[in-house]
Structure 1
Amino acid sequence: MDVQSFFEQAKTTLKLTQSTPLQSAYQFGSDPDKLAQLVLTGTKTATTSAYDLYETDEPLPKVGAYDVILDAHNQPVCVTRTDQVMITPYLDIDATHAYLEGEGDRTYAYWRRVHDAFFKQEYQSEHQRFDPHTAQMVLERFHVVYPVH
């Protein structure tokens, strides 16, 4: 099913107005299928993105907005609603946020190891250098609203 049809079904089920906008549709990280399932089960309720890599025309996430989470084949898995958005230095991200990201053993050490490698690659793909001492990050918290369990 395409993203827009999936979101239309969600709006009907959730009794949202037809004018309710879709903020975005996206895949998570290096293993979209696994991470989408963590979101669907409520294990993953947070994510981190590089503020430094947002384009000037790319809006930051907004509290109250709806997103469609996609699998590795760009198929919709669920709709989330954004609960919190915060911009913070990379090195200020704490164990609570790491736990809420729901990955691996959910420890800060695991989160840091995986995200150091992920952001190094992300910055390189944009011809920039990832410096954990200066990097600014966008932290989001969200919850699944569709499908309803």
Structure 2
Amino acid sequence: MSLVDELKIKYPAANAWQFGDSPELANELAALVVKGIKTASCGSLASYQQEDGAPLIGSYNIILDGQDVPVCVIRLISMRLLRFCDVTAELARKEGEGDLSLGYWRREHQKFFLREGYFSDEMELVAEEFEVIEVL
């Protein structure tokens, strides 16, 4: 039995996934979560609507690194909808990336959403905040 399978027994209905869109970014962001620096994330509403089993507040997630190895378990504690242009400096800081500034967040997330295929200042995002439950 794999570690992911064992964790899914311990945390029923947990999903296992990576942050980012490359192994390097997945490693970087997973490390920020483990260190307690990254406590929030966001994605486009359109992407969330295409996923099977959208996340729910209180749900557990197994965070994988860029090699699909579990590094921690997080629990979703809040979710909200907002437009890209309405992201605050506080949310940017909670995302824990770069210099923690809103300017950095906007630049890097615009690049990310363009890689996904769509970006607009008015695009709707799902912002999530989470807590680390277990570091593996």
Quote the Cα distance in structure 1 between the aligned partners of 2:124 and 2:83.
4
Report the AA paired with residue 100 of structure 1. Answer: K
Counterpart in the other structure of 1:146: 134
2:42 to 48, 56, 63: 48
Which 4+ stretches in 1 moved above 3 angstroms?
Answer: none
* Uncovered stretches (5+) of structure 2, i.e. residues with no partner: none
Report the Cα offset of residue 57 of structure 1: 5.7
Question: In structure 1, which of residues 93, 104, 109 is the aligned counterpart of residue 103 of structure 2?
Answer: 109
Residue type of the alignment partner of 1:77: V
What's 1:68 paired with? 62
State the AA in 1 paired with 2:126. V
Task: Decide which of 11, 17, 28 is 1:26's aligned counterpart.
Answer: 17
| Structure 2 residue identity aligned to 1:139 | A
Give the secondary structure class of the aligned counterpart of 1:54: helix
**Cα separation, partners in 2 of 1:79 and 1:57, compared to 1, 3 Å:** closer
Q: Confirm whether residue 118 of structure 1 aligns to residue 119 of structure 2.
A: no
Identity %: 36
Residue 54 of structure 1: how far off its partner (Å): 2.8
Distance of 2:34 and 2:76 partners within structure 1: 14
Give the Cα separation in 1 of the matches to 2:79 and 2:44. Answer: 13
Q: Which amino acid aligns with 1:146?
A: E
TM-score of the two chains, using structure 1 as the length reference: 0.81
CA contact 1:6–1:76 (8 Å) conserved in 2:
no
Superposition RMSD on alpha carbons, in Å?
Answer: 1.7
Distance 1:57 1:26, change over 3 A: closer
Q: How many residues align?
A: 132
Q: Report the secondary structure of 1:87's partner residue.
A: strand
CA distance in 2, matches of 1:91, 1:33: 27
CA distance in 2: counterparts of 1:4 and 1:49, whole angstroms: 26
Unaligned ranges ≥5, structure 1: none
Contact 1:47 1:101 in 2 (8 A): yes
